[in-house]
């Protein structure tokens, strides 16, 4: 491969292209020869290994050796030797070629190393005569240096809280279900007993996907505003009895601030069977809250409204930060606003109207009953880790996240 770097007299774009193409063609030929020849030889023989690496070294030196490699030559001859007005295109060309050549050399090395590893696997112990040999041939790699330390990640505090909550229900025998974030109006609203134009829809500032007006309302796409649609999706797929928890992200058109985010996390729960009562709901959630916040917390159920449950309730736990006193030492307890109670979730008995939508899959409201609940994970993570601004969770600032490592 008698490629020599030519002198350039013509620095026109066409001439530079030609020079570049010739150089790259020579490079390609060299790479092919190197890889092909080394593949052809019976590689289990020690001498063949050495030869292979000798060839590799001369290939490498020819192209990138600092003293006289092709890269150095084009820098000296094409760039330094160029007239003033051609410095810019010549510089660009030399830079581009440098990148290309270095990449090719690295690639050739990687593929030689790979085939060597393969051969070693095929005939272990037959390659280098000694460790010294191996070290010498791998010149440039100082294996006595400490290895690159790979930073170990940690679970994000929101995910950690989510897994913890899901775990509590899994230990009660619940399975985990998931569903799509881009949802239809039908699953997000209609089948959850939000009739079209019902004002309850307004409480969930919905982000709609654009350009859906030509579809019937129930097929229009939106970003799910809660994890409740997965209740319906799961009941369509699985017959009762059912016990599921549904973790996931939801979106609402809320501008970000210390306690709001357009994307946040919820965990939904659903239990359906014969004879499920409000007592089961209370007992289950009381147990779950004690498992999450400590056995001394109390729970408190207050009547509420959700279209998909009847009756519905909001659940409060006694403040696990101030023990329910509303005070921390002499100071007022801010997270519970001095009330001693923290609202943690919404729940209720599944509305018979919801079962009507999945009746054909065994959910006859005359035969089965169930309870459902839904909670926001991010706010619980805030309280649990004493973080005072929700935005920290979503900014990806390693200085913040490292504290949870
Ligand atoms: N989906 C409700 C929300 O996002 C939360 C909720 C309340 C879920 C009551 C439930 C439930 O399953 O029964 O505000």
CA 265 – CA 393 distance, rounded (Å): 11
- Using the atom order of ligand 1, give the atom closest to the CA of residue 231: 12
- Using the atom order of ligand 1, give the atom closest to the CA of residue 268: 12
Q: What is the pLDDT of residue 241?
A: 98
- C-alpha 391 – ligand 1 centre gap (Å): 23
The preferred substitution site among 278, 347, 350 for testing ligand 1, maximizing ligand atoms within 8 Å of CB, is: 347
- Using the atom order of ligand 1, give the atom closest to the CA of residue 308: 13
- Using the atom order of ligand 1, give the atom closest to the CA of residue 203: 14
CA 332 – CA 352 distance, rounded (Å): 44
- Using the atom order of ligand 1, give the atom closest to the CA of residue 250: 4
- Using the atom order of ligand 1, give the atom closest to the CA of residue 371: 13
- C-alpha 273 – ligand 1 centre gap (Å): 19
- C-alpha 374 – ligand 1 centre gap (Å): 4
In this structure, which residue's CA is closest to atom 5 in ligand 1? 374
Name the β-bridge partners of 249.
265
In this structure, which residue's CA is closest to atom 8 in ligand 1? 374
Q: Residues in the chain, how many?
A: 405
- C-alpha 15 – ligand 1 centre gap (Å): 71
Q: Reduced to 3 states, what is the DSSP secondary structure of residue 323?
A: coil
Torsion angles phi and psi, residue 182, rounded to 5: -85, 115
What is the SS3 string spanning 39-83? HHCCCCCHHHHHHHHHHHHHHHHHHHCCCCCHHHHHHHHHHHCCC
Protein residues with CB under 6 Å of any ligand 1 atom: 226, 228, 268, 306, 309, 346-348, 372-374
Contact, 8 vs 19, CB < 8 A?
yes
The preferred substitution site among 177, 224, 226, 246 for testing ligand 1, maximizing ligand atoms within 8 Å of CB, is: 226
CA 334 – CA 332 distance, rounded (Å): 6
The preferred substitution site among 200, 267, 315, 373 for testing ligand 1, maximizing ligand atoms within 8 Å of CB, is: 373
- Using the atom order of ligand 1, give the atom closest to the CA of residue 376: 4
In this structure, which residue's CA is closest to atom 3 in ligand 1? 226
pLDDT in tens, the chain (405 residues): 578 999 998 999 899 999 999 999 999 888 888 887 766 665 556 677 777 778 888 888 999 988 889 999 999 999 998 999 999 999 999 999 999 998 888 888 877 776 666 655 555 544 445 555 555 556 677 778 888 888 788 899 999 999 999 999 999 999 999 999 999 999 999 999 999 888 888 878 999 999 999 999 999 999 999 999 999 999 999 999 999 999 999 999 999 999 999 999 999 999 999 999 999 999 999 999 999 999 999 999 999 999 999 999 999 999 988 999 999 999 999 989 999 999 999 999 999 999 999 999 999 999 999 999 999 999 999 998 999 999 999 999 989 998 988
- Using the atom order of ligand 1, give the atom closest to the CA of residue 226: 4
Q: Rounded to whole angstroms, what are the CA distances from 377 to 131, 226, 322?
A: 56, 12, 21
Pairing relationship of beta strands 242-251 and 175-176 according to DSSP bridges: parallel
Q: What is the pLDDT of residue 302?
A: 98
- C-alpha 227 – ligand 1 centre gap (Å): 8
Cα 294 to the chain's mean position, in Å?
Answer: 31
Contact, 7 vs 27, CB < 8 A?
no
Q: What is the pLDDT of residue 128?
A: 46
Q: Reduced to 3 states, what is the DSSP secondary structure of residue 20?
A: helix
List all residues 6 or more positions away from 388 whose beta carbon is below 8 Å from its beta carbon: 258, 382
Name the β-bridge partners of 168.
none
- C-alpha 228 – ligand 1 centre gap (Å): 6
- Using the atom order of ligand 1, give the atom closest to the CA of residue 192: 1
Q: Rounded to whole angstroms, what are the CA distances from 294 to 162, 169, 287, 302, 377?
A: 17, 15, 10, 21, 17
Q: What is the pLDDT of residue 145?
A: 82
Q: Which two tokens stand for residue 187?
A: 């699953």
The preferred substitution site among 179, 268, 288, 304 for testing ligand 1, maximizing ligand atoms within 8 Å of CB, is: 268
- C-alpha 306 – ligand 1 centre gap (Å): 7
- C-alpha 269 – ligand 1 centre gap (Å): 9
């Amino acid at each position: 491969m008698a490629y020599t770097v030519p002198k350039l007299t013509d620095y026109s774009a066409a001439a530079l292209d030609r020079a570049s193409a010739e150089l790259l063609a020579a490079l390609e030929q060299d790479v092919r020869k190197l890889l092909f020849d080394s593949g052809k030889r019976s590689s289990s023989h020690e001498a063949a290994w050495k030869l292979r690496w000798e060839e590799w070294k001369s290939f490498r030196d020819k192209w990138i050796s600092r003293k006289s490699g092709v890269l150095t030559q084009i820098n000296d001859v094409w760039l330094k030797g160029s007239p003033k007005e051609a410095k810019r295109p010549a510089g660009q060309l030399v830079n581009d070629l440098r990148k290309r050549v270095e990449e090719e050399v690295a690639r050739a090395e990687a593929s030689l190393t790979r085939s060597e590893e393969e051969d070693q696997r095929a005939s272990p112990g037959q390659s280098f005569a000694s460790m010294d040999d191996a070290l010498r041939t791998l010149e440039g790699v100082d294996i006595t240096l400490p290895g690159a330390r790979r930073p170990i990640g940690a679970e994000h505090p929101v995910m950690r809280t989510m897994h913890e909550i899901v775990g509590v229900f899994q230990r009660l025998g619940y399975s985990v279900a998931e569903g799509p974030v881009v949802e239809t109006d039908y699953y997000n609203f209609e089948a959850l007993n939000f009739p079209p134009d019902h004002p309850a829809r307004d409480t969930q500032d919905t982000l709609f996907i654009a350009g859906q007006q030509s579809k019937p309302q129930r097929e229009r796409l939106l970003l799910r505003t809660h994890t409740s649609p997965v209740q319906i999706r799961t009941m369509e797929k699985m017959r009762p009895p059912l016990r599921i928890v549904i973790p996931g992200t939801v979106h609402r058109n809320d501008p970000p601030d210390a306690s709001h985010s357009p994307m946040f996390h919820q965990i939904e729960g659903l239990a359906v069977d014969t004879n499920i009562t409000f007592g089961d709901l209370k007992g289950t959630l009381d147990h779950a809250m004690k498992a999450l916040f400590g056995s001394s917390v109390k729970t408190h159920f207050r009547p509420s409204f959700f279209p998909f449950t009847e009756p519905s309730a909001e659940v409060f736990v006694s403040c696990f930060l101030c023990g329910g006193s509303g005070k921390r030492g002499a100071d007022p307890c801010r997270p519970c606003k001095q009330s001693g109670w923290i609202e943690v979730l919404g729940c209720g008995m599944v509305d018979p109207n919801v079962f009507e939508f999945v009746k054909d899959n065994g959910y006859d409201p005359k035969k089965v009953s169930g309870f459902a609940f839904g909670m926001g994970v991010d706010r619980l993570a805030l309280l649990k880790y004493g973080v005072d601004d929700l935005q920290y969770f979503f900014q990806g600032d390693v200085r913040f996240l490292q504290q949870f490592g």
